[in-house]
Amino acid sequence: MMDFHKLEAFIAVVEEGSISRAVVRLNIRKPSLTRIIKALEEELNTPLFKCFPSGLETTEAGKVLYHEALSLLNHVQAIPQRIKSITQDLDKINFGFTNSVGLHPFLPNLLHGFREAFPKVSIHLVEESSNLLIDSINNGKNDIIFLRIPVPISLELNSLHILDEPLVVAMPNNHPLTAQADPLQLLDLKPYDFVRYRHLEEQNLFDNIMASFYQLGFRPRIIQEAPLLSSCLNLIAAGIGLSIVPEATQYSWSNKQIVYKSLNDDLLSSVPIYAVYKCSTENIHLQYVLKLLSKYLK
SS (H, E, C) 253-274: CCCCCEEEEEECCCCCCEEEEE
Q: Which long-range contacts (CB under 8 A, 24 or more apart) does 176-179 make?
A: 177/242, 177/261, 178/259, 178/261
Q: Is the dihedral of CA 122, 109, 208, 227 positive or negative?
A: negative
Residue 58, beta-bridge partner list: 49
Over range 78-104, report the average pLDDT.
78
What is the structure's pLDDT at 109?
Answer: 93
Does 227 or 67 have the greater pLDDT score? 67
Rounded Cα distance between 164 and 295, Å, is: 13
For residues 148 and 274, is the Cβ–Cβ distance under 8 A?
yes
Cα distances (angstroms) measured from residue 292 to each of 107, 126, 198, 216, 279: 11, 20, 32, 39, 18
State pLDDT tens for residues 144-157.
999 988 887 767 89
Q: Is the dihedral of CA 119, 136, 127, 271 positive or negative?
A: negative
For residues 40 and 10, is the Cβ–Cβ distance under 8 A?
yes
Q: Phi/psi of residue 162, each to 5°?
A: -85, -55
State pLDDT tens for residues 168-223.
999 999 999 999 998 999 999 999 999 987 655 566 777 888 889 999 998 899 99
In our burial notation (b when 16+ CB lie closer than 10 A, e otherwise), range 86-123 reads eeebeeebbbbbbbbbbbbebbeebbebbeeebeeeee
Cα separation of the two ends of the chain: 54
Does 69 or 296 have the greater pLDDT score? 69
- 179 secondary structure, DSSP code: G
What is the structure's pLDDT at 169?
Answer: 96
The pLDDT of residue 25 is above 60: yes
What is the structure's pLDDT at 253?
Answer: 81
The per-residue pLDDT of the chain, averaged, comes to 88
For residues 162 and 146, is the Cβ–Cβ distance under 8 A?
yes
The pLDDT of residue 93 is above 70: yes
Nearest to 123 by CA among 87, 144, 94, 86: 94
